[in-house]
Homo-oligomer: A and B are copies of this chain.
């Protein structure tokens, strides 16, 4: 599996993805699941992927090919006029890839399924973020629905639900992401370090701070250990039940 999160903040967008991929439990390797297309001053578009690796890599390769071969599918991701159009482009590509893989095969479409988080900003528009389904349709993050998770999302949701607020700084949001990822890593073998992080600051129209958290990262380890202790203290601070 995979775990990826996209956060919509007042100050911009934040993305984090793990890098584990596995077929069963004994064919495990590491692969980047975060892809960025950037034209400074014009657009920054970032895609996070979860699901069948053959599908997600084909989708990204097709998007890349279309950028080079302008006659194939116009406009390409570097030319689409808006984030909405970018989401449509990814959605159509996903649907085509899954359809092709399924045609005439023995497997069901579910086998080839993939889900994406797409976020960024195109000059003239606002920062926007979408969750794109394998069917090619998509929903947008709003202030009522300010973050998206794909992949193994359940373990890391409770802390997002409770600690997220849209006024968070990027520094606080990084801490939140790491706690959410660490809760997932501690409970599920199919999500693994390193983690890729990217920040996008509103209206900059270029790539923001980026970092890959490796297993021995000092900050990651400090949060992971600190969170265990802080949780235990929080738990102890609550009153025990009284039988009577």
Q: Do the beta carbons of B243 and A179 come within 8 Å of each other?
A: no
Q: Does A143 contact B (CB under 8 A)?
A: no
Given the complex, which residues of B lie within 8 Å of A237, measured CB to CB?
226, 230
Q: Out of B234, B235, B242, name the residue touching A171 (CB < 8 Å).
A: B242
What is the minimal beta-carbon distance from A227 to any residue of chain B, in angstroms? Answer: 6
Q: Do the beta carbons of A238 and B209 come within 8 Å of each other?
A: no
Q: Does A186 contact B (CB under 8 A)?
A: yes
CA distance A235 to B230 in the complex (A): 8
Kindly specify which of A35-43, A103-111, A158-166 makes contact with the partner chain.
A158-166
Q: Which of A30-54 contact B (CB under 8 A)?
A: none
Q: Do the beta carbons of B174 and A232 come within 8 Å of each other?
A: no
**A183, A230, A235: residue with the most chain B Cβ atoms closer than 10 Å:** A235
* Interface residues in chain A, defined as those with a beta carbon under 8 Å from any beta carbon in chain B: 154-155, 157-159, 161-163, 169-172, 174-176, 178-179, 183, 186-187, 209, 219, 222-223, 226-228, 230-235, 237-243
The 3 residue pairs across chains A and B that have the minimum distance between CB atoms: A154-B154, A174-B241, A230-B234
Pull 24 A–B residue pairs with CB atoms less than 8 Å apart, ordered by A.
A154-B154, A154-B187, A155-B155, A155-B157, A155-B158, A157-B187, A158-B187, A159-B231, A161-B186, A162-B186, A163-B232, A170-B243, A171-B240, A174-B241, A175-B235, A175-B238, A175-B239, A175-B240, A175-B241, A179-B235, A179-B238, A223-B239, A231-B234, A233-B234
